[in-house]
Chain A
Amino acid sequence: MTDPALTLYRLQACPFCERVVRLLQEYDLEYDSRFVEPMHSDRDVVKRVSGKRTVPALVDHTTGATLTESANIVSYLEATYGGDAPSASAEPATAGEGS
């Protein structure tokens, strides 16, 4: 089995994560889901991967990009995998989402 090129760190029922999942499914992209715990202090793996403890966090093994914040991730996916012309580039993560 080949591993999907995308790994999504997510929290069960997190709306920001589901927003990303919806787009991944819309683009028919294969991805691995890694579920983490609600407590931020229990999310060392996300911190190691992305530098932050928030989810969603997406790792694109093809491009080497690691993104946080659903708006950033959505922009990145649209620009990288969307059929339309690139819209926005993914900005470095900023604070805001509380998931």
Chain B
Amino acid sequence: MDLGFDVVDLPEQDHVGEGEQAPDFTRPLVNEEYWEDTSLSDLTAEEPVVLVFYTMDGAFPATYIWNELRDREFADYDATVVGLSISDPYAHKRLIEERNIEFDLFSDPTNEVADDYGIGNDLDGMTGISEPRPATYVVDTDRTVRYAWVAAEWPDFPDYDELEAAVERVV
């Protein structure tokens, strides 16, 4: 994307990286019909997990990211793709319906999960609101991070080819 000017850099952060254990958490996980408290470890007990941190529902990066993951047919992998944003479960349900998202979404309004991963992003001009930086993690069944990408610019989007390659290495 050539805008003719520099995109804003995000400050460097010490985030959870490859080889580290992914911090476990429990939050409401929203599907197209209901939501229910679910732990990351519940999911990794079954198969590898692609954990996608994204901007609040309704922001354009959320739409772009989920459209791309849908179109690239991430649902076909033997891995569980889940999202996480600070949006509440009602907003998640609307987004799932409107965008035909085939993946479940964690709701974390307090942004504590992002803070645990070292990817919190205080929003300029939205006082009191912090959300995750866009980030993608591939976590294996031992809950070890096998791939991590965290946004360094604002905005910044996942490297989808790299993410696909990472998932293919794990499944």
Binding site for B on A (CB under 8 A): 1, 9, 32-37, 42-45
Contacts and interface: CB of A to CB of B under 8 A. Distances in A.
26 contacts: A1-B39, A1-B41, A1-B42, A1-B45, A9-B34, A32-B36, A32-B37, A33-B36, A33-B37, A34-B34, A34-B35, A34-B36, A35-B28, A35-B34, A35-B35, A35-B36, A35-B89, A36-B33, A36-B34, A37-B90, A37-B93, A42-B93, A43-B33, A44-B33, A45-B33, A45-B34
Nearest to B41: A1
For the side of the interface on B, what is the size category?
10 to 19
Q: Is the interface of A mostly helix, strand, loop or mixed?
A: mixed
Contacts, number: 26
A3 to B, nearest CB: 9
A76 B44 CA distance: 36
Q: Is the interface of B mostly helix, strand, loop or mixed?
A: mixed
Contacts of B90: 37
Contacts of B45: 1
Contacts of A45: 33-34
